[in-house]
Amino acid sequence: MDKKIVVALGGNAILTDDASAEAQQEALRKTAKYLVQFVKNGDNLVISHGNGPQVGNLLLQMANGSTPKNPPMPLDTDVAMTQGSIGYWMQNAMDEVLAENDLDKDVATIVTQVEVSKDDPAFADPTKPIGPFYSKEDADAQKAEHPDFTFVEDAGRGYRRVVPSPKPISVKEYRVVNHMVNDGIIPISVGGGGVPVVKDGNRLVGREAVIDKDFASEKLAELVGADSLIILTAVDNIYVNFNKPDQKKLEHVTIAELKKYMDEGQFAKGSMLPKVQAAIEFVENSDHGQAVVTSLENVGNFLSNGSGTIITK
Ligand SMILES: Nc1ncnc2c1ncn2[C@@H]1O[C@H](COP(=O)(O)OP(=O)(O)O)[C@@H](O)[C@H]1O
Ligand SMILES: NC(=O)OP(=O)(O)O
């Protein structure tokens, strides 16, 4: 009750297999029905979300339709555009579900800039998958057309374009987010990991990259002094020996235990590993905070009986 919580939404909260606006809005209406349970519980929500599929699709759309007079926009601007579109869908869905539940609350999206280092080694080593999956042949054909693009095989599901993903240092608008949440408003912030910017004197200059939304959510949770960082994904729990006959669900786990499992290589790079790293960082850097990894569908159980993976000091 009355806790400040940052909830990071995974890909399945927005996009299933249909990338139309209508289908994503429908998915977000379902998501909002789960999120409203936190509001009913008396928690003060800050919502964040990913944008990997959407920002990659936007780049493709712009590449296909661009002319010299109507040029494609750079990736930092594309991240801001997806913050706007997904934020609009999300706040619209939340408004509807809050009204259905007779909850008088405002929801608003903040275009959020996230500071990164210009020297982050990630700029020279693209790792963040965006956009659609390709067959090997299609990825090779794209590479021939755009030699500067990098494609990698993504967890046995096909090939995807990858872009740099620098680590967040700070969230420019965190005080705005904090004012809003302290005033009872539900902010949607660091969407798509936030717009990557580097400091140049008084200017913040956009950089072409996509920040991991779990890391950006962690940084925001730290900066607003959240009680919990809740990472919602497609599984109810983190597992050790995931998808093996002897897989074991983690329920209450300390950061020391989680680090040991991480060192054993239990968490897949690019999927569960960043969530585990973000959870550890939040718990380590906050006085009293806990991190939770669970699914949207399990939010009710988490609130009633604490089911999910709960990470504490
Ligand atoms: N050890 C693990 N425990 C639980 N899930 C894991 C583990 N390793 C990999 N995963 C996979 O990671 C997925 C979450 O990552 P991903 O789909 O990239 O996240 P997001 O929800 O942010 O889009 C889970 O749905 C699961 O399939
Ligand atoms: N920016 C980001 O982390 O997006 P996804 O979660 O969709 O990959």
- The string of DSSP codes covering 8-28 is EEPGGGT-SS--SHHHHHHHH
Whether residue 96 is contained in a domain is answered as yes
pLDDT tens across 53-67, in order? Answer: 999 999 999 988 889
Whether residue 154 is contained in a domain is answered as no
Ligand 1, CB cutoff 6 Å, lining residues: 10-12, 50, 233-235, 238-239, 242, 266-268, 271-272
Whether residue 276 is contained in a domain is answered as yes
Predicted complex ipTM exceeds 0.95: yes
Rounded Cα–Cα distance for residues 46 and 24 (Å):
20
pLDDT of residue 1: 62
Mean pLDDT of the chain: 96
Rounded Cα–Cα distance for residues 153 and 129 (Å):
9
Rounded Cα–Cα distance for residues 285 and 37 (Å):
27
CATH number of the domain that residue 213 is part of: 3.40.1160.10
- Which position among 11, 87, 194, 308 bears the catalytic label? 11
Q: Is residue 156's pLDDT more than 90? A: no
Is this prediction's pTM over 0.80? Answer: yes
Whether residue 156 is contained in a domain is answered as no
Q: Is 70 a catalytic residue?
A: no
Whether residue 134 is contained in a domain is answered as no
pLDDT tens across 241-273, in order? Answer: 999 999 999 999 999 999 999 999 999 888 899
**How much is the average pLDDT of 186-204?**
98
Rounded Cα–Cα distance for residues 85 and 64 (Å):
20
Q: Is residue 23's pLDDT more than 80? A: yes
Whether residue 135 is contained in a domain is answered as no
Q: Is 275 a catalytic residue?
A: yes
Whether residue 238 is contained in a domain is answered as yes
Whether residue 149 is contained in a domain is answered as no
Identify the residue with better confidence: 155 or 220: 220
pLDDT tens across 265-295, in order? Answer: 999 888 899 999 999 999 999 989 999 999 9
Tell me how far CA of residue 17 lies from CA of 20, 53, 230, 308, in angstroms: 9, 11, 25, 26
What are the φ/ψ torsions at residue 10 (nearest 5 degrees)? -80, 175
Number of domains forming the structure of the chain: 1
Rounded Cα–Cα distance for residues 54 and 184 (Å):
29
pLDDT tens across 71-93, in order? Answer: 999 999 999 999 999 999 999 99
The domain of 265 spans: 4-115+169-311
**Whose alpha carbon is nearest atom 2 of ligand 2?**
50
- Which position among 44, 51, 191, 213 bears the catalytic label? 213
